[in-house]
Structure 1
Amino acid sequence: MNVIADPKLQAVIDRLQAKSRAQEAETGAWFADRAKKGELSWEDFDEKSHRFMADKLVALEPAKAEFCYLTCRALRARRVVECGTSFGVSTLYLAAAVRDNGGGTVIGTEHEAAKAAAARETFAAAELDPFIDLREGDLRETLQDVGGPIDFVLLDIWTEMVVPALRLIGPHLRQGAVIVADNTASSHRGYEAFFAWLADPTNRMRHTTLPFDGGLEMCVRD
């Protein structure tokens, strides 16, 4: 049995995941070439990189996305925050979980206007738009008001924006809330500030790196 029990939704997801996989070789080669030339920085995602990534889905892998869906179901999550919506593939899993839990809201954030527009079309096609509040712009502005206690957070965004997001979201995490962050093993250097935030006892977090490809950090609020 599929984790996603809605065949129409699964068809939308499969189409988008296939498109994302088709882009992976080009994306990997481009960043490898820039790294070889010494043009990449862990502290900043520059304009050249933003332009290249403007049409790339970079979807969360299906196994990770399904894990997020199941975690949200287990938490009975009603209010979810996703940092880095892109074309909205992982948002579909989160919104499906909220819907299947009886209702709620996924607050998505996306800086690129074209990606946000494409994501909204996808949400409508999947009939999940009533459960998604997609906020377009800089997350340091869009996450100023998250509207209440947060049950689950997905961090799938350029690493320099993770801690700014958590400074806004952190005070609203309920006890037992879960944060999931992607690629914390493969991008450990970029996540240094994130791990420092987790280590700060005032943030009341416990965490472990799950053995998904690239590492997936699961963090729980005490």
Structure 2
Amino acid sequence: MTYTNTLADPRVAQALTRMFNAAAHDADQVVEDGATTAQELADALAAIYMPISADGGKLLYNLVRATRPATVVEFGTSYGISTLYLAAAVRDNGAGRVVTTEMSKDKITAARRTFAETGLDNLITVLEGDARDTLAGLADPPEFVLLDGWKNLCLPVLRLLEPRLAPGTLVVADDVNLDSLRPYLDYVRDPANGYQSVTFPVEDGMEISCRL
């Protein structure tokens, strides 16, 4: 029997290896101070990958394979590491698409080039600009959400999408160890806000929240 696993496609595997190797040098990058807006911060960090972990990517792949969402929404493309895991799962499900958001023009250019090289570009739509603006016009309801952009914007982005989240929709946020994600975590961990939430111990932690 032949099993479908796009993560094993040499084009995808090589792209992930290349980007993870490049991300290992994030700490060597020099970032100029003075960024005040989200766009200025995105431009200042244009050379930095800030990726999910490989295990985190596999977790996302498995969750998308299991839930089979028609529309996956990602807040924070960066160079597209997490997007590849999401798109690979969508490809292997046989249906669906990934809508991802990014503010850095340089990162968008690099990510689109990688998506084309891996043959997954036809499954991915990249929205350029502030996610609070670009996702406001989303045509279809999100059925799976990954929040991995600026941590202080995760809650506003969730609240923007929230009216369209059907019961059972999974929302995943990365880096639960960061203080800037605390308002988001306090929100999804409060049962009064309509989520059942659990922390998954992979790398810096992922918060997996189910819309009730």
TM-score (norm 2): 0.88
Aligned partners of 2:185 and 2:116: how far apart in 1?
Answer: 36
Q: Give the length in aligned residue pairs.
A: 208
For 2:202, the aligned partner's letter is: F
Residue pair 2:6, 2:89 contacting (<8 A) in 1 also: no
Provide closer, same or farther for how the CA distance between residues 159 and 12 of structure 1 changes in structure 2, counting only shifts above 3 A.
same
Equivalent residues in 2 for 1:1-222, closer than 5 Å: 4-23=7-26, 25-26=27-28, 47=40, 49-184=41-176, 186-187=177-178, 189-199=179-189, 201=191, 203-222=193-212
* Structure 1 range deviating more: 202-211 or 75-84: 202-211
Provide closer, same or farther for how the CA distance between residues 54 and 75 of structure 1 changes in structure 2, counting only shifts above 3 A.
same
For 1:193, the aligned partner's letter is: P
TM-score (norm 1): 0.84
For 1:194, the aligned partner's letter is: Y
Residue 6 of structure 1, CA deviation: 1.8
Q: Structure 1 unaligned runs (5+)?
A: none
**Matched position secondary structure for 1:57:** coil
Q: Structure 2 unaligned runs (5+)?
A: none
Aligned partners of 1:115 and 1:209: how far apart in 2?
Answer: 29
* Structure 1 range deviating more: 83-92 or 139-148: 139-148
Residue pair 1:103, 1:131 contacting (<8 A) in 2 also: no
Describe the superposition over 1:153-194 as per-residue Cα deviations: whole angstroms up to 9, x where unpaired: 11111111111211221122222111111111x21x212221
Give the fraction of aligned pairs with identical amino acids, expressed as a percent: 37
RMSD (Å) for aligned C-alpha atoms: 2.5
Describe the superposition over 1:90-136 as per-residue Cα deviations: whole angstroms up to 9, x where unpaired: 10110111111112111100011111111111111111111111000
For 2:11, the aligned partner's letter is: K
Q: Which runs of 4+ in 1 moved over 6 A?
A: none
